[in-house]
Amino acid sequence: MKRMSVKVKITVWYVLLMALMAGLLLAFLLGISGSVSSQTAVNQLDAAVRANLTQVEVADDGSLRLGEGFQFYVNGVYTLVYSQGESLLAGQVPVSFTAQEPFQNGLTRAVDTAAGRYYVLDFWVPSGWDGGVWVRGLLEAPDNPQAITNLLLMAVVTMPLFILLAALGGYLIARRAFRPLEQLTATADAINEAADLSQRVEVPPGSNEFSRLAGTFNGMFARLERAFEAEAQFTADASHELRTPVSVIKSACEYAEKYGDTPEEQRETIAMIHRQADRMSALIGQLLSITRLDQGTEQAKLTRLNLSELVEQVCAEQPCPRERLLTEAEPGIFVQGDAALLTRLLQNLIDNGFKYGRPEGHVWVELRRGEDEVRLRVRDDGIGIEKEAQEKVWQRFFQAESSRTGASGAGLGLSMVQKIAQLHSGHMTLESVPGLGSAFTLHLPPEKK
């Protein structure tokens, strides 16, 4: 049975259960058939005798009068009329009833004879002060063994057909119930063969177990797809961005091999290699951070956070002169946030403002509480960004042409800023005028009271 499919196993258990229920039902019917048939016979006897009682009349002179509706034999019931002295006045005693049964008014009882069992019921019909007649009803008890035999014969004939129908119905029910699972398995096999994680399992309607299972599989495929895409993106990004510093390092080494005879040339070559190594290290760190955010391995640990204090602290720790970084933070603003991630976001925006701003330019950091949001704004008086490039600044490795004024950068800072904002259920906006500067604004939901 271990090699059977689940549908066959369910069908087998279903058939066994139905067979057990049918057997119990048959045993129950056999158990009550005798009492039911006996009770039916007693009720039939009582009804026939009482119907004839209304047709019996004894005259003042003691003569017996039977109405037209009196029936001596009906539905197997014999009705007899006896005198007070127990002499038969009307009716015919069945030949097989040989017992000498005394009269008992209104009591139905079973009487055994040599030929079988009879049910007997007597009623006294009074007349005058001390006169009257006895009305007796006799009914041969039903043959229970024959009824049981007929029931067993019927069961033998119908039971195989019943089990066959139960097996067929059980298999069809199991097959229909497991159809979503077969579709899920087929889709999973197709995804496995085609290595296409973008496919999804069709979710059956409703909220049953298969619907939840399909939803769980789709969620798993989505996470796997994001993980593989993040891995592919990381590989492509690393290959693209590391090519330049590796080429510079390689060229510097080749130059040192040919012309690095003097200590000054050697020091210059080593300094160039060191700068490129630092750039590669920073780039790899940024790539790993944004990849972790994309994959969800670096989750935002949201707690009640005093954003006003965080902004003041980050700005106070900046190495730039105080007159170049101007802070205006409204006190007492709390949000649900991750202090480390929001610090990284603000640091990236401040670095971006100075890096692509004017020489000796300024950066303004403003924190305000709005009606339905909290706004953290970082503004500079730099060269600004062209309108057609403003939608692309959030993309990885994108750098507007106007920003390339000798400042170095991998183009990952704003992409990371956008991702951190999304992790806090917020979003970023950009306002920029070429030649006047840019303003990046973080919009966060306020703290729920």
pLDDT in tens, 403-417: 434 444 455 678 778
Domain boundary among 264, 295, 326: 295
Query: What's the pLDDT score for residue 190?
Result: 74
Q: Do 156 and 11 have their domain in common?
A: yes
Reading the block at residue 165, the tokens are 């129908």
Q: Do 81 and 121 have their domain in common?
A: yes
Q: What angle do CA 253, 257, 260 make, to 5 degrees?
A: 95
How far is C-alpha 110 from the geometric centre of its chain's CA atoms? 63
pLDDT in tens, 44-94: 999 999 999 989 888 777 788 888 899 999 989 999 999 988 899 999 999
Q: Evaluate whether residue 196 is within a structural domain.
A: no
- 149: domain CATH number? 3.30.450
Reading the block at residue 377, the tokens are 């704004």
Reading the block at residue 21, the tokens are 């229920």
Query: What's the pLDDT score for residue 151?
Result: 67
Burial per residue of 220-232, b for 16 or more beta-carbon CB atoms within 10 angstroms, e otherwise: ebeeebebeebee
16 membership: H or E segment, kind and range = helix 6-53
CA pair distance 97, 112, nearest whole angstrom: 9
Q: Evaluate whether residue 189 is within a structural domain.
A: no
Averaged over 205-226, what is the pLDDT?
Answer: 73
Amino acid type, 107 = L
- 368: domain CATH number? 3.30.565.10
Q: Evaluate whether residue 132 is within a structural domain.
A: yes
Q: Evaluate whether residue 263 is within a structural domain.
A: yes
Cβ neighbors of 416 (< 8 A, separation 6 or more) are 286, 289, 290, 293, 344, 345, 348
Q: Do 20 and 116 have their domain in common?
A: yes
Domain that holds residue 289: 209-295
CA pair distance 213, 154, nearest whole angstrom: 46
Q: Evaluate whether residue 1 is within a structural domain.
A: no
Share of the chain above pLDDT 70, in %: 78
Instruction: Name the 3-class secondary structure at 447.
Output: coil
Q: What angle do CA 272, 274, 279 make, to 5 degrees?
A: 95
How many domains does the chain contain in total? 3
Q: Do 255 and 309 have their domain in common?
A: no
* CA atoms lying within 13 Å on the CB side of residue 355: 17
More confident residue, 394 or 374: 374
Averaged over 101-126, what is the pLDDT?
Answer: 91
**For the whole model, what pTM was predicted?**
0.44
Q: Evaluate whether residue 203 is within a structural domain.
A: no
In the predicted model, is pLDDT for residue 378 greater than 90? Answer: yes
Q: Evaluate whether residue 90 is within a structural domain.
A: yes
Q: Do 282 and 332 have their domain in common?
A: no
Q: Evaluate whether residue 89 is within a structural domain.
A: yes
pLDDT in tens, 329-356: 999 999 998 888 898 889 889 988 888 7
For residue 346, the tally of other CB atoms under 10 A from its CB is: 23
- 275: domain CATH number? 1.10.287.130
DSSP notation for 234-301: HHHHHHHHHHHHHHHHHHHHHHHHHHTTSHHHHHHHHHHHHHHHHHHHHHHHHHHHHHHHHHTSS---
Domain boundary among 261, 295, 329: 295
In the predicted model, is pLDDT for residue 306 greater than 90? Answer: yes
Q: Do 231 and 135 have their domain in common?
A: no
Are residues 200 and 214 in contact, defined by beta-carbon separation less than 8 angstroms?
Answer: no
Q: Do 258 and 388 have their domain in common?
A: no
Q: Do 41 and 124 have their domain in common?
A: yes
Reading the block at residue 228, the tokens are 């593989």
Q: Do 313 and 415 have their domain in common?
A: yes
134 membership: H or E segment, kind and range = strand 131-140
CA pair distance 373, 336, nearest whole angstrom: 12
CA pair distance 55, 48, nearest whole angstrom: 12
442 membership: H or E segment, kind and range = strand 437-444
Domain boundary among 141, 162, 183: 162
pLDDT band at 109 (very low <50, low <70, confident <90, very high): very high
Query: What's the pLDDT score for residue 404?
Result: 39
Query: What's the pLDDT score for residue 32?
Result: 64
Are residues 434 and 384 in contact, defined by beta-carbon separation less than 8 angstroms?
Answer: yes
Q: Do 330 and 383 have their domain in common?
A: yes
In the predicted model, is pLDDT for residue 120 greater than 90? Answer: yes
Q: Do 414 and 439 have their domain in common?
A: yes
In the predicted model, is pLDDT for residue 279 greater than 90? Answer: no
Q: Do 119 and 244 have their domain in common?
A: no
Averaged over 201-214, what is the pLDDT?
Answer: 68
Q: How much is the mean pLDDT over the chain?
A: 79
Q: Nearest to residue 109, comparing CAs of 150, 151, 138?
A: 138
